């Protein structure tokens, strides 16, 4: 039997309500959003990446300071001028979309358990914690180890090439950001090479697909969670849905086109001795458009999923 994912379900049936297994019971704190007025007053910190690689010493120091504040106050920041061509992002989104559009039979060889085995994992009902144990998320995901061993899916054609290119570029961005963050923490920079180059350090890519949902307020794309690694890099198509928790309230972020959203994870909290928290975030769904997010994170191969 093939793998029926939410994308397949949407295409094959005319859903007008959320099936019961997808109904997400929101808790009061889940609804604690900023008011529209408050939203206008908050801006997620923006980091100009080019100042780290080709800025003057003063510009670089200023950005390191901005990073310190961003990690401390938000655990989230938006990276611009990072050098990843928009065409690469669009090609990767298109290839991932083609993967999700493979027939259930074509997807079935990729079904598996997420273990040390660095192969692709196809996942449509991962539950992150016992509180939401019986709920399926309104999301299809495929997740694949991309470093130290690169294991892309064989189909669709072309996915492997674009993913390989994005793996390299995002790794360089991650390293440069980590170097600057370490500098801000007065930690030895060369420790980073060890941290993310050592054999046990893994880089994991996941593509998340959130199809339109007939009753978005009843379902959840991805419930509140924190990530495991040092940093998570996220790019998306032009559809918003990422919320981050800041000072006890949920903030909907609207990344500027072609920016990369970055958040600090559990390993960063440990590395910074608790100064930079592993921040909570979630993905909500909408009833109009399909959202895709491309997530690159690091962790160790014997850990369970990034998400
Ligand atoms: O799709 C999103 O906006 C969030 C994805 C995410 O948090 C994750 O994959 O860990
Ligand atoms: Fe996450």
- Supply the pLDDT for residue 54: 96
Task: Report d(CA 10, CA 186) in Å as an integer.
Answer: 51
**284 C-beta closer than 6 A to ligand 1:** no
State the residue for tokens 């900023």.
34
Q: Per-residue pLDDT tens for 9-54? A: 888 888 888 888 888 877 777 777 777 777 666 789 999 999 999 9
**295 C-beta closer than 6 A to ligand 1:** yes
ipTM of predicted assembly, 2 dp: 0.99
- Supply the pLDDT for residue 74: 96
Q: What are phi and psi of 86, to 5 degrees?
A: -60, -35
Burial 30-69 (b: 16+ CB within 10 A, else e): beeebeeeeeeeeebbebebebbeeeeeeebeebbebbbe
Q: Which ligand has the nearest atom to the CA of 242?
A: 1
What is the arithmetic mean of pLDDT over 234-247? 95
Q: Which ligand has the nearest atom to the CA of 226?
A: 2
**How far is the centre of ligand 1, averaged over its atoms, from the C-alpha of 282 (Å)?**
7
Does residue 199 have a pLDDT over 90?
no
Task: Report d(CA 200, CA 47) in Å as an integer.
Answer: 29
Q: Per-residue pLDDT tens for 82-101? A: 999 999 999 999 999 999 99
Q: What is the DSSP string of 118-173?
A: -S-EEES----SGGGTT---S-EEEEEEEESS----S-STTHHHHHHHHHHHHHHH
Q: Per-residue pLDDT tens for 156-167? A: 899 999 999 999
């Amino acid at each position: 039997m093939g793998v029926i994912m939410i994308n397949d379900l949407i295409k094959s049936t005319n859903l007008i309500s959320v099936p019961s297994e997808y109904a997400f019971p929101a808790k009061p704190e889940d609804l604690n959003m900023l008011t529209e007025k408050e939203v206008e007053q908050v801006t997620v910190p923006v980091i100009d990446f080019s100042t780290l690689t080709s800025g003057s010493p003063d510009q670089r120091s200023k950005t390191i300071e901005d990073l310190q504040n961003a990690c401390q106050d938000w655990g989230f920041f938006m990276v611009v001028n990072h050098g990843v061509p928009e065409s690469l992002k669009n090609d990767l989104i298109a290839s991932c979309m083609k993967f999700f559009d493979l027939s259930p039979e074509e997807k079935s060889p990729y079904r598996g358990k997420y273990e040390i085995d660095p192969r692709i994992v196809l996942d449509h009902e991962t539950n992150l914690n016992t509180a939401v144990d019986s709920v399926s998320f309104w999301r299809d995901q495929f997740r694949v180890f991309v470093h130290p061993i690169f294991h892309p899916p064989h189909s669709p054609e072309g996915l492997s090439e674009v993913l390989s290119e994005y793996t390299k570029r995002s790794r360089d961005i991650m390293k440069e950001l980590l170097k600057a963050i370490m500098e801000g923490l007065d930690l030895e920079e060369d420790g980073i090479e060890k941290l993310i180059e050592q054999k046990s350090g893994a880089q994991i890519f996941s593509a998340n697909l959130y199809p339109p949902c007939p009753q978005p307020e009843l379902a959840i794309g991805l419930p509140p969670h924190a990530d495991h690694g040092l940093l998570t890099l996220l790019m998306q198509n032009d559809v918003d849905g990422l919320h981050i928790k800041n000072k006890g309230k949920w903030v909907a972020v609207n990344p500027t086109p072609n920016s990369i959203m970055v958040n600090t994870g559990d390993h960063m909290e440990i590395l910074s001795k608790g100064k930079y928290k592993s921040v909570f975030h979630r993905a909500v769904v909408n009833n109009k458009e399909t959202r895709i997010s491309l997530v690159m994170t690091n962790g160790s191969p014997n850990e369970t999923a990034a998400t």
